[in-house]
Amino acid sequence: MRQSERWAESEIHAAPSLGILIASDVRFVRESLGEVLGRSGDFSVLGECGDLDEILNMSRDLRPDMVLLDAAVRDGLAAVRRLREMRATLRVVVFAIAESVDSVLLWADAGVAGYIPSTAATADLCAMIGDIGTGKQPCSASVAAGLLQRIATSVSPQSRSDAAPQALTPRELEIVRLISVGLSNKEIARRLNIGLATTKSHVHNALAKLNVQRRGQVATSMQSRSLPG
């Protein structure tokens, strides 16, 4: 082997791997993911954690390139926001989410760099994480079409004129997004770390502003009013 070839091979093996922190409150899930990613050779699993405090503390201490976050983790949306506030360059990737426009937008609004749908195969996991690490995001055709439709609607002159009269507060908008993906009042309260009574008050006010009577009408009302999902 020529000297130049040995140098090239040395540089390839010396290439830094992506440092990942895995966050899931299910030990089996985080350990299994750690084994899969560790075997690939493209990633360095820096640690595994389960709750919000652990996620924040280990992210601060280990300074990973990416946090792989289970969508089922309690206060997951709050964790994403806190992590982004802690370090803007940190990429947070949420996994095991329903691949719907509402769900994707909910997590994107919190600040995730990408997502792994609940339907993803283990064999595709490393490639998907690698793509997200380089700024790409694989998604289904239906989600891509839905996102384009939401963007087109949100920038239309009609949507801008209709948004003002009964504008939702930032908290109410957050609440209706969670309602639209099927969360109950108790689940919303836990997710946002607020009291149940406060949650019910926000829900009541939001439904009144949207002029709907039932929770199942929220998603349709948001779309018709061109509110961001």
Domains defined for the chain, CATH in brackets: 8-142 (3.40.50.2300), 156-224 (1.10.10.10)
Cα separation, 62 vs 45, in Å, equals 11
Task: Say if pTM beats, i.e. exceeds, 0.75.
Answer: no
Cα separation, 83 vs 61, in Å, equals 12
CB atoms under 10 Å from CB of 186, counted, come to 11
- Contacts with 32 (C-beta within 8 Å, 6 or more apart), sequence order: none
Cα separation, 10 vs 51, in Å, equals 39
Q: What is the pLDDT of residues 81-116, one digit of tens each?
A: 999 999 999 999 999 998 888 888 888 888 999 999
- Band of the pLDDT at 56, cuts 50, 70, 90? very high
Q: What is the pLDDT of residues 124-161, one digit of tens each?
A: 999 999 999 999 998 888 888 888 887 776 665 554 44
